[in-house]
Every structure is written in C-alpha cells, then in structure tokens.
Amino acid sequence: MNRGGIRRLVSVASPVSIAAALFIVIVVASAIFAPWVAPASPLAQHIPNRLQSPGADGHLLGTDEFGRDILSRLIYGARVELVIALGATAVAFVLGSFLGLIGAYIGSWVELVSMRLVEALLAFPPILLAMLVVTIYGSGQLTLIVVLGLVFAPAFARLTFAQTLSVKSAEYVEAARAFSAKTPTILGRVILPNIAGALIAQLPITLANTILLESGLSYLGLGITPPTPSWGGMVASGQRFMAVDPTLLIVSSATIVLTVLSFGLVGDAVRDWLDPRERKALRAR
C-alpha cells in the first residue's frame, strides 16, 4: 500500500475505526509476543490463590478457579483464537473464491454444481453445522480451522460469483480471450485481481465471525480442549463462579466483544476505502 492509499484509508476511517485498529494491533502483538508479555504461565496452577481479586499478589486481573493468572490466559488465548481465525478465513477465502470464480465464469453445469453446493452449506445454521462436524470428528485446532472454513466459505463464494458475473464481459477479459489466454490464467491473473477489493473487505468480517463462532463452540465444550486457554472456555469457567467472583466472566466476555467489534469496524473502514464512490468523494474534497 503506497502513501496515498494509507492517507485515503486514514481519511475514510473514523476515530472509532482507528481505535479499533489499534486494539487489534495490541491483541495481535500480545499473541505473537505472549511468552515475553504474559506475566505467568497460563497453565500454572496454585489452588491456595484461586479466585483472587484483580491486583492481588501481582495478578493484574486476578486468578481463576485453579489459581491460574487470568491475564496470561487471555494473552495465550488470543494466540489460539487468532491462529484458528486466520486459518479458517484462509480456507474460506480459497474455497469460496474458487467456487465462485469457476461457477460464474464457466457457467453451465459447473455453475449448477458449485452454487448448489454453496446453497447446501447455507441451508445449515453455522453453529449447528460446526457442532455436528466437531461432535463427529472431535475438537482440536485443525478440525476447527477446517469446519469454520467450510462454514464461512459460502460468503466468499457468493460474493466472488456476483463480482465475477459483473466483470466477465469486460473489455480486458475479452482481450485476454482474444490473446488465447487459458481459463486458469484469465481467472487468476485477470478477473481475480479486479475483484480482490470486495474480497479483501470481507476478510475482517469473516475473522470477527470466526472468533465469535469458535468462542461459542469452546463455551459449549466443543472447541479447544482444556487446559489450553481459549476465550470461550474462560467465559464458561467464569459463569460457573460468577456468584463468587465475576472478574473472569467479565474480562473474558469483554475481550471477545471488543475483538469482534474491532474487526467489524475495521472491515467497514476497509470497505469504504475500497468503494469507488467514496474515493471520488475524497478526490473532490
């Protein structure tokens, strides 16, 4: 991204969107540098110090029911959440974009098969489909990445399908055909770069939805297996002890809400930045 693009993005983004982007940067940086940032091991138990209040004995956010440092578990939980969210979003992007591209460009029976497959996935509520697959194949990061990727692939497929239909008859595509370019070349080097803006704008939204759904699965006991820290699992633990100490429930729930909201706000800002009408308005200023 050049300096002009950065200036356009900053000019479109509201102060709230900029604050959301900074929060995401903090979450990502904390996840990457977790071994150096976390004040303690996320798995270290000390039963005598269970359910301590924030600030007690050097625990900034207190401890959980096993005496584990809540802040450390939040930080290492961010690493787990981001790995799953990024992996699932990559699966959804690749699979959905492929189905949408070939369905719209080739048409005929290919469109029928690809779009019917997408509609079949859309027929199941995401949480129920995810619960079904995880129940059958078991929990774990790889399983969650694959199943969440399948759940959110239809969003990319439908978006790619619509965008490809709008440009498949464009002059630059016709020119590529006139020069006898092969179909994979036209799809990957001609059409895809010209519809990438809409797909890029969808990425933060998918990341937010993935984190939210994975947290829900972990809350239900179908996601990350304890004692590995996960935000949804921390919410479930906090709920059990909310009458004694609501700190764990509050901070873990707030972390999920703020992270999901931040990705959504950044997605809106990116979409506005990539909107040609918004660019034209910025040039007129």
In the predicted structure, residue 141 carries a pLDDT above the cut 90: no
Whether the link from the prior residue into 227 is cis, omega within 30° of 0, is yes
Whole-angstrom Cα distance, residue 134 to residue 145?
A: 11
Q: What is the pLDDT of residues 32-73, one digit of tens each?
A: 999 999 998 898 888 888 888 888 887 888 888 888 999 999
Q: Could you tell me the pLDDT band of residue 203, with boundaries at 50, 70 and 90?
A: very high
CA neighbours closer than 13 Å in the CB half-sphere of residue 25:
6
Q: Provide the mean pLDDT of the chain.
A: 85
* pLDDT (0 to 100) of residue 262: 94
Nearest to 129 by CA among 160, 112, 152: 152
Backbone angles phi, psi at 116, to 5 degrees: -70, -35
The CATH architecture one would assign to domain 22-284 is Orthogonal Bundle (1.10)
Nearest to 35 by CA among 82, 75, 85, 66: 75
CA neighbours closer than 13 Å in the CB half-sphere of residue 166:
10
Amino acid at 214: E
